[in-house]
Amino acid sequence: MKIAIIALHFSEYSLRLSKALAELGNDVLLILKKENAENEVGNYFFEFNHNNLKIILIPHRKLRNPLFLLNVNYIIRNILNFSPHILHFQESFPDYGFLSFLLLKKLLKRKYPIVLTVHDHVDHSGIDSKRKKRFIYYRKMIRKYSDAIIVHGETIKEEAKKMPIFKNKKIFVIPHGPLGFLPQKKKYNFKNFEKGRLLFFGRIEKYKGLEYLIEAHKILKQKRIFHRIVIAGRGTELKKYSEILQNNPYFIIKDYYIPPDEIPYLFLNSHVVVLPYTDATQSGVLMMAMNYGRPVVATRVGAIPEVVIDGFSGLLVPPRDPVSLSYAIERLIFNLDLSLKFGENAKKLIQNIFSWNKIAYSTLNVYHHLLG
């Protein structure tokens, strides 16, 4: 099968899916935004070399820049030359791929079936819920014209089915795959980490629940439980709580976009990865933590409980509940054997149920369903 995947965000996710599809004998054309791909993959592009996979990087241009039409033209030319059996979009904003899709629709009279992976069917609370109107319009249109929708959990599917835009749509559930690169230069001991070191990683926005982690920290401090919290990433919530976090010996703040080379050490040096989300669909950070064999403490929101098996690969707590959050963290800090067992179990889940090979097979089933 010839598959064209347009992903102007979620580059690492799309590269891993594309390579897995290529390894199953399919020809894959993957179109990425250069800036996003370099940020997410860095020096690890060599891992995605495959004879059946062609990767095209387009330069970043803002929608208000007339030169973005060159990007649209470039995408269209490559798709026409490739002549795929199916088009697969990764939903993102702003989306040159969507503009290309609209032009293709007019030029080719809907020649290609369209698959759309919806990573977030509704906006996260905070800054994501304040998108500009044109972004909302793009999202509405590409969802409307897609023939099949992929989401990352049964919970998300049931919620999406109730949304008018997805009425009568074919919605398929395929889990999110593992993310993260292993260190290139040395073999790493997965059991060599700092006890009590907690990692809070990614976009630091309101839905990530930083305020509840801070409250849980106060409880742990009051109990004189040694811990250290690494907050790694950028976002509006860091500024909001800067007075509490700055010059606080319990916190290590890395207020910048974390490059791919640094990510493995952040996870592998940590005892527990904490995800106190107030709302979510699924979590790339969660899949990264599991891939690095790290136990997680996460909240019961979105489809996260479909991935984290409570008491097996991590601990689940109610959202917005710092007391329960602190108890779960305390349990793992004081039980090293349990932490190691959870990490090993998480790694097994990644290698089996959530492997990219299985995800690629499931994705092919969606394509075959559309193609009859």
> pLDDT for 67-100, tens place per residue?
777 888 888 889 989 999 999 999 886 666 666 6
Summarize the confidence of residues 181-191 as an average pLDDT: 68
pLDDT per residue as tens digits for the range 134-168 = 567 778 888 888 999 999 999 999 999 999 999 88
Pairing of strands 148-151, 170-173: parallel
Does 288 fall in a domain? yes
The answer to whether residues 316 and 251 belong to one domain is yes
Look at residue 330 and tell me whether its pLDDT is greater than 60.
yes
The answer to whether residues 336 and 256 belong to one domain is yes
The answer to whether residues 156 and 221 belong to one domain is no
Radius of gyration of the CA atoms of the chain, in A = 21
Name, in order, each residue with C-beta under 8 angstroms of 80's C-beta and a sequence gap of 6 or more: none
Is 199 in contact with 266 (CB distance < 8 Å)? yes
Look at residue 369 and tell me whether its pLDDT is greater than 90.
yes
The answer to whether residues 151 and 239 belong to one domain is no
4 DSSP β-pair partners: 29, 87
What phi and psi values does residue 290 have, to the nearest 5 degrees?
-65, -40
User: What is the domain count for the chain?
Assistant: 2
Give residue 85's pLDDT: 94
The answer to whether residues 10 and 107 belong to one domain is yes
Does 206 fall in a domain? yes
CATH of residue 73's domain is: 3.40.50.2000
Q: What is the extent of the structural domain holding 234?
A: 197-351
The answer to whether residues 86 and 147 belong to one domain is yes
Does 254 fall in a domain? yes
pLDDT per residue as tens digits for the range 206-256 = 999 999 999 999 999 999 999 999 999 999 899 889 888 988 999 999 999
Cis ω before 259 (30° cut-off from 0): no
Model-level pTM greater than 0.85?
yes
The answer to whether residues 324 and 227 belong to one domain is yes
Torsion sign across C-alpha atoms 305, 308, 314, 320: negative
Does 189 fall in a domain? no
Does 184 fall in a domain? no
